[in-house]
Amino acid sequence: MKVIGLLTLFLVCAPIARASLVVYEGFNGYQTGDLTGQSVVNTVGLTGAYGTTGENSTYTVWYQTSGLSFGSIQTSGGSAWCIGYDTSATVGLASSVAVQGTMWSSYLVKAGSSIGGNVLVATKNNSSGTLYGRTAANAGSLPGVAYGESNWNGSISGSSQLAGNTTYMVVSKFTNVGMSLSASQTGTLREWILTLDQFQNWEANGLSESYLTAATAGTGSNQIYAITGVSVSASGTYSFDNQCSLSYAGQYTNNITFDELRYGTELSDVIVVPEPASWALALLGVTVLMGRQRWGASKWNL
């Protein structure tokens, strides 16, 4: 039993590679119930208390202690549950947040039944009102995205609807964040939506960006469920900093669960799985411990 306990300790404490995690919300440690007014806890890059909106007073965003799981993806606790029609939760970005250049994001999402509208995670500039980097999975038609509120859609391919009672991972890449855009320096947003078996195939192939960009859209395990993107060349600057707030919402749909929201400057920041070297180190340590235990037993049996 002692060896099993030490094995658990090794695996839990195995290091995770992160270049620069900018924002993280794993929904761990809140009071069960309505998130409205609850201050952020156990987060990175968020500040203040949650505000929520809904079509009426019975529709809100609820913290639940059960979280979503997705293969080997590291998770940390509960999840946020958008109850009812057109509900959202919003919280501020901390003063430490300021991204320039490339940014990645990911989140897990699941609907309790078939999705009839938008499922989205957005960043809103509080002073100008413009939405920047609005990623959405629109199950009524095809997934769409926006880089700035007026710059919707772009090229889209993939399955026509997200299934209910299924957890998906949504991965996005943003370029030229916080930089002045022009014809020669465009802002792009690319989004990939994966099922669990598709993620596991990506993981088996090294979790590389090149795998995502080369993949075709479809339901096969070696494909990506839906791929979408948009490019913006009009002049303007779309920032990701403490002048913004982060929102997640189920629009025109019911009972959406969100979990493991991550933003970072590298793909490895937002796709967090134990490193192979960490597993090997843990197993080596356990082997040594078991060997010592057997040696001790044989010593006293002489």
**Full 3-state SS string of 221-280:** CCCECEEEEEEECCCEECCCECCEEEEEEEECCCCEEEEEEEEECCHHHHCCCCCHHHHH
> Does the pLDDT of residue 262 top 90, yes or no?
yes
Average pLDDT over residues 254-264: 90
* Digit-coded pLDDT (tens) for 39-51: 999 999 999 999 9
Beta strands (DSSP E) in the chain are 21-25, 33-34, 46-53, 60-64, 79-83, 87-93, 101-111, 118-125, 131-138, 144-146, 155-158, 167-177, 180-181, 187-194, 226-232, 236-237, 244-251, 256-264
Least confident among 80-89, 170-179, 284-293: 284-293
Can you read off the two tokens belonging to residue 284?
């080596």
> Is 141 in contact with 160 (CB distance < 8 Å)?
yes
Instruction: Work out the percent of the chain whose per-residue pLDDT is above 90.
Output: 48
Distance between CA 284 and CA 257 in Å, rounded?
Answer: 38
**What mean pLDDT is reported for the chain?**
80
Taking only the tens place, the pLDDT of each residue in 220-233 is 999 999 888 888 88
| Range with the poorest average pLDDT among 23-27, 116-120, 170-174 | 116-120
20-273: CATH number:
2.60.120
pLDDT digits (tens, 9 = 90+) for 50-82: 999 876 666 789 999 999 999 999 998 899 998
Who has greater pLDDT, 3 or 239? Answer: 239
288 pLDDT higher than 70: no
Spell out the residues 6+ positions from residue 22 whose beta carbon is closer than 8 angstroms to its own.
Answer: 44, 45, 97, 99, 103, 240, 263, 264, 265, 269
pTM: 0.83
